[in-house]
């Protein structure tokens, strides 16, 4: 598939590049976070990141003072596997080069299936940061060469944490797999308890 760049006009449907922030210390700390060679790890909140000045600045400027969590998604991945969305923007900060596979919530069908042919790929260089809008479908980044990817993930506090209620099995509620997380999986991914509504190829980034 064609890999576009986050600076291309086509990315504007999904989010925007963030400028005017100093992420140098955050990127240095991210370089020491675990990065599995053959798996992906996601940590919703990491003390090492949340105590940094950059986290405070993102809380105040990017989220208007709302409580946030600063975590990371690191590892090696070449597959789409699933898409998720939140009721809020997500900020991604790339410590390494990586590739984002993105779609639009508006393209989800009435039965909550989604055609993976509509997914677009975007190259995100190391050191850059983006805001992904709440309507942007996304999941774990893909490796863009090297020894894997490292990406800081900023979200409203509590996002992706374990549910403390039982969602309905009807309608959109069936997609709720964690707090502030709606997920549609591909059957090949075999994600336990997930709604398998991705139709078509489980996209692979070579």
Mean pLDDT of the chain: 97
- Contact between 126 and 96 (Cβ < 8 Å): yes
Nearest one of 88, 68, 95 to 136, comparing CA atoms: 88
Percent of the chain with pLDDT over 90: 97
**Is pLDDT at 45 greater than 90 in this prediction?**
yes
- Contact between 138 and 99 (Cβ < 8 Å): no
3-199 folds as Jelly Rolls (2.60.120)
- Domain locations along the chain: 3-199
pLDDT tens for each residue of 50-92: 999 999 999 999 999 999 999 999 999 999 999 999 999 999 9
pLDDT tens for each residue of 12-42: 999 999 999 999 999 999 999 999 999 999 9
Q: How far apart (Å, rounded) are the C-alpha atoms in residues 53 and 19?
A: 16
Residue 19 burial (C-beta neighbours within 10 Å; 0-12, 13-18, 19+): exposed
3 state SS of 38: coil
pLDDT tens for each residue of 99-117: 999 999 999 999 999 999 9
3 state SS of 64: coil
């Amino acid at each position: 598939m064609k890999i576009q760049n986050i600076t291309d006009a086509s990315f504007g449907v999904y989010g925007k590049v963030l400028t005017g922030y100093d992420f140098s210390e955050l990127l240095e700390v991210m370089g020491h976070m675990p990065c599995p060679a053959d798996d992906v790890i996601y940590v919703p909140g990491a003390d090492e990141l949340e105590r940094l000045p950059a986290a405070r600045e993102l809380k105040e400027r990017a989220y208007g003072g709302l409580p946030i969590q600063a975590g990371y998604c690191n590892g090696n991945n070449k597959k789409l596997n699933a898409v998720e969305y939140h009721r809020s923007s997500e900020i991604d900060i790339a410590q390494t080069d990586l590739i984002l596979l993105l779609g639009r919530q508006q393209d989800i069908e009435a039965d909550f299936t989604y055609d993976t042919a509509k997914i677009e790929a975007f190259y995100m260089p190391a050191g850059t940061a983006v805001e992904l809008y709440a309507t942007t479908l996304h999941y774990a980044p893909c490796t863009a060469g090297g020894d894997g990817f490292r990406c800081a993930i900023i979200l409203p506090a509590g996002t992706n944490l374990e549910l403390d209620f039982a969602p309905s099995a009807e309608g959109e509620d069936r997609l709720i797999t964690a707090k502030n997380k709606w997920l549609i999986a591909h059957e090949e991914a075999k994600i336990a308890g997930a709604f398998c509504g991705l139709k078509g190829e489980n996209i692979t980034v070579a």
